[in-house]
A and B are shown apart, each in its own frame.
Chain A
Amino acid sequence: MSALPTNYLTPTGREEAWRFTPLKRIAGLHDPATSVADRISIALSGAVRPGFTINKVKSADIPAKSATDDAVIQRVRSGVAEVTHLEIGKEAIVAEPIILTRTPGNTSEFSRTVITAGAHSKATVIVENSGNATLGEEIEIRLEAGSNLTFVTLQEWSDTTIHLGRHHAIVGRDATFNSITVTVGGSLVRLLPTVEYSDQGGSAELLGLYFATDGQHLEHRVHVEHGIPNAKSRVTYKGVLAGDQARTVWIGDVFIRKNAEGTDTYELNKNLLLTDGARADSVPNLEIETGEIVGAGHASTTGRFDDEQLFYLMSRGIPMADARRLVIRGFFTEIINKIGNEVIEERLMSRIDGQLAKVGA
């Protein structure tokens, strides 16, 4: 934990971190002059089961353990009075996913959530976001020694939603963090899926998929901070864009610090552009300060529909629209299948099908 910078400034759009984001479209969430309500809009779906607890805690009693220089997140931290704290007990094995559902209010809101995975626990947490929101939020995920947490966030927002968030994991000794970030809705979504390690032997897998259609801006700024020896990270994000002014941004910052010997990391971003007028920015950024690593690599591709694949499917009688749907589903399958909940998987696939049909791609 390091102190928050005291001199943070309101972004102007010229900063490296903000240069892709249309600040006009974030409803002043970054601007101290705009007032934002403090409201707990996230709640457990279903009943509490053995193995975990969920409580509202005074923000001052559960300060953030990680540092951020993001202006919106700093406003979230100072603007929120109460935090939702989900605690998975030490050594608890929670079989069924713990589902947190957000029901946004009518005004702009800030929200803070902390998830603690107790030592040697194992659980899956799914955060469902839908409806219309203007939301600044932070979820800090603390994985204690030997814990295993699968963390899924679903951004199935309506197409007017503005969502700026940071989902930050602190991975403890020998802990395993598997995350899946799905963004298929929203007018403007800007997420910071970030990871740091607090001890050796940790492993993080960050999977993501996004699907942007007409006028949507979907931005994911992944950051993996290897500041501890012998930790592992894998990042795979896949995006599809269709329709006029569909816009996605993917940043993959992976920093391997001088003392992070034995680091093993690989990051990949693949984008599929289905129509003209869509734009995908992809910026993998790997910085290595030590030579003593196991492996480090990155790749990024942006391409069009593969005509050969469509021809192959159609030559077996499958109509064009169905062939395209199959290829898109196939593209996302490796990520969606990892959610491990058939109802959600099928819901996401049908939403993607529906949006594809809407833009006629």
Chain B
Amino acid sequence: MSQLVIKDLQVGVETEAGMTEILRGVDLTINSGEVHAIMGPNGSGKSTLAYSIAGHPKYTITGGTVTLDGVDVLEMSVDERAKAGLFLAMQYPVEVPGVSVANFLRTAATALRGEAPKVRTWVGEVKEAMSKLAMDPAFSERSVNEGFSGGEKKRHEILQMELLKPKIAILDETDSGLDVDALRIVSEGVNRVKAEQNLGIMLITHYTRILRYIKPDFVHVFAGGKIVEEGGPELADRLEEKGYAQYVKA
């Protein structure tokens, strides 16, 4: 059982005009096996929340705490957070020229497992995970995310999640840019890891269609840098129908 606890999290970014406040006190607890959908208008701070938990250097934590099983996450370096069991599937995965997917995955697995995976079983493991996500094995030899289509990048994020086996995963708009078939394949991947690992999930999305595959236990409305309403799956349908107008100050 794992538990990610976010308490009164306040985050800003350094701009020319000084510190700009983005997150204004986020409270959220995610337990193993739970799916928390986060929905909210553009610019409300959803990615900022995701990046802050993962430790992106651009963001400055100005208040609050994040703990994983009682251990302070904000004190950890970015790689330590991954080792502690956190995973972020990014909204915009980064291209790393000249570094092959195969080399990247192996280096990451080695770092997380504390020893290099056995060559023979590892190659099979990667191949199987790729085939489940309907990814061409040729991707192994390509540079990380370089020239990948939007949908291919998202599949590659979930491939990493399958292989790295985190405890808590944050999926930042993993559904954006996926066609119907890819959406199903990727969702099945997420559900597989959830079943195997009893994964806890923070699922950031703009659309209810992914929630038909990955059933949320909780839906949170995010606006103006914090959670403004919480409910069950029915809240998502209401949001899709009515939009965010009632939560956004005119």
Task: Give the secondary structure class of A's interface.
Answer: helix
Whether A312 contacts B98 by the Cβ 8 Å rule is: no
Enumerate chain B residues within 8 angstroms of A327, measured Cβ to Cβ.
Answer: 96, 99
Among candidates A315, A320, A323, A329, residue contacting B98 with C-beta atoms closer than 8 Å: A329
Among candidates B94, B103, B107, B111, residue contacting A312 with C-beta atoms closer than 8 Å: B94
Of A23-31, A53-61, A116-124, A303-311, the one with at least 4 CB within 8 A of chain B: A303-311
Of B1-9, B78-86, B124-132, the one with at least 4 CB within 8 A of chain A: B78-86
Enumerate chain B residues within 8 angstroms of A329, measured Cβ to Cβ.
Answer: 98-99
Chain B 201-245 against A: per-residue CB contact (8 Å), 1 yes, 0 no? Answer: 000000000000000000000000000000000000000000000
Distance to closest chain A CB from B169 (angstroms)? 12
A312-B108 in contact given A320-B77, A327-B99, A330-B97 (Cβ < 8 Å): no
Whether A311 contacts B98 by the Cβ 8 Å rule is: no
Which residue on chain A has the smallest CB distance to residue B51? A311
- For the complex, give the distance between the alpha carbons of A311 and B90 in Å: 11
Q: Is B192 an interface residue (CB 8 A)?
A: no
- For the complex, give the distance between the alpha carbons of A314 and B144 in Å: 14
- For the complex, give the distance between the alpha carbons of A313 and B101 in Å: 11
Which residue on chain B has the smallest CB distance to residue A312? B94
Enumerate chain B residues within 8 angstroms of A332, measured Cβ to Cβ.
Answer: 98
Chain B 37-65 against A: per-residue CB contact (8 Å), 1 yes, 0 no? Answer: 00000000000000000111110000000
Enumerate chain B residues within 8 angstroms of A311, measured Cβ to Cβ.
Answer: 54-57, 78, 94
Interface hub of A313, A316, A319 (most chain B Cβ within 10 A):
A316
Q: Is B88 an interface residue (CB 8 A)?
A: yes
Among candidates A308, A315, A318, A331, residue contacting B107 with C-beta atoms closer than 8 Å: A318
Q: Is A333 an interface residue (CB 8 A)?
A: yes
Whether A326 contacts B112 by the Cβ 8 Å rule is: no
Distance to closest chain B CB from A334 (angstroms)? 6
- For the complex, give the distance between the alpha carbons of A331 and B108 in Å: 19
Which residue on chain A has the smallest CB distance to residue B146? A330
Enumerate chain A residues within 8 angstroms of B11, measured Cβ to Cβ.
Answer: none
Whether B96 contacts A318 by the Cβ 8 Å rule is: no
Among candidates A312, A317, A322, residue contacting B96 with C-beta atoms closer than 8 Å: A312
Enumerate chain A residues within 8 angstroms of B56, measured Cβ to Cβ.
Answer: 311
The total number of A-B Cβ pairs within 8 Å is 84
Enumerate chain A residues within 8 angstroms of B104, measured Cβ to Cβ.
Answer: 313, 316, 326
Which residue on chain A has the smallest CB distance to residue B97? A330
Which residue on chain B has the smallest CB distance to residue A334? B98
Number of interface residues of A (CB under 8 A): 23
Whether A330 contacts B143 by the Cβ 8 Å rule is: yes
Enumerate chain A residues within 8 angstroms of B88, measured Cβ to Cβ.
Answer: 315
Enumerate chain B residues within 8 angstroms of A309, measured Cβ to Cβ.
Answer: 94-96
Whether A330 contacts B96 by the Cβ 8 Å rule is: yes
- For the complex, give the distance between the alpha carbons of A314 and B94 in Å: 12
Q: Is B164 an interface residue (CB 8 A)?
A: yes
A315-B111 in contact given A326-B96, A331-B97 (Cβ < 8 Å): no
Q: Is B160 an interface residue (CB 8 A)?
A: yes
Whether B98 contacts A322 by the Cβ 8 Å rule is: no
A330-B99 in contact given A308-B94, A312-B94, A315-B54 (Cβ < 8 Å): yes
Enumerate chain A residues within 8 angstroms of B108, measured Cβ to Cβ.
Answer: 313, 316-318
- For the complex, give the distance between the alpha carbons of A317 and B95 in Å: 17
Distance to closest chain A CB from B226 (angstroms)? 24
Which residue on chain B has the smallest CB distance to residue A331? B98
Q: Is B150 an interface residue (CB 8 A)?
A: no
Distance to closest chain B CB from A240 (angstroms)? 12
Distance to closest chain B CB from A271 (angstroms)? 15
Enumerate chain B residues within 8 angstroms of A312, measured Cβ to Cβ.
Answer: 90, 93-94, 96, 144
Whether A314 contacts B107 by the Cβ 8 Å rule is: no
Which residue on chain A has the smallest CB distance to residue B82? A317
Enumerate chain B residues within 8 angstroms of A307, measured Cβ to Cβ.
Answer: 57-58
Which residue on chain B has the smallest CB distance to residue A319? B79
Chain B 121-165 against A: per-residue CB contact (8 Å), 1 yes, 0 no? Answer: 000000000000000000000011000000000000000100010
Whether A314 contacts B97 by the Cβ 8 Å rule is: no
Enumerate chain B residues within 8 angstroms of A330, measured Cβ to Cβ.
Answer: 96-99, 143
- For the complex, give the distance between the alpha carbons of A309 and B104 in Å: 12
Enumerate chain A residues within 8 angstroms of B57, measured Cβ to Cβ.
Answer: 307, 311
A322-B111 in contact given A315-B54, A316-B160 (Cβ < 8 Å): yes
What 10 pairs between A and B have smallest CB-CB spacing?
A330-B98, A333-B98, A317-B82, A316-B108, A314-B78, A312-B94, A330-B99, A317-B112, A317-B111, A314-B79
User: A residues within 8 Å of B by Cβ?
Assistant: 307-309, 311-320, 322-323, 326-327, 329-334
**Could you list 29 A-B pairs, sorted by A, with CB under 8 Å?**
A307-B57, A307-B58, A308-B94, A309-B96, A312-B93, A312-B94, A313-B107, A315-B81, A315-B82, A315-B87, A316-B160, A317-B79, A317-B82, A317-B112, A318-B79, A318-B111, A319-B111, A322-B107, A326-B103, A326-B104, A326-B107, A327-B99, A330-B96, A330-B97, A330-B98, A330-B143, A331-B97, A332-B98, A333-B98
User: B residues within 8 Å of A by Cβ?
Assistant: 54-58, 77-79, 81-83, 87-88, 90, 93-99, 103-104, 107-108, 111-112, 143-144, 160, 164
Beyond contacts A316-B164, A331-B98: 18 other A-B pairs, Cβ-Cβ < 8 A, are A307-B57, A311-B94, A312-B93, A312-B94, A314-B55, A314-B78, A314-B79, A315-B55, A315-B78, A315-B79, A315-B90, A317-B82, A317-B108, A317-B164, A320-B77, A327-B99, A330-B97, A332-B98
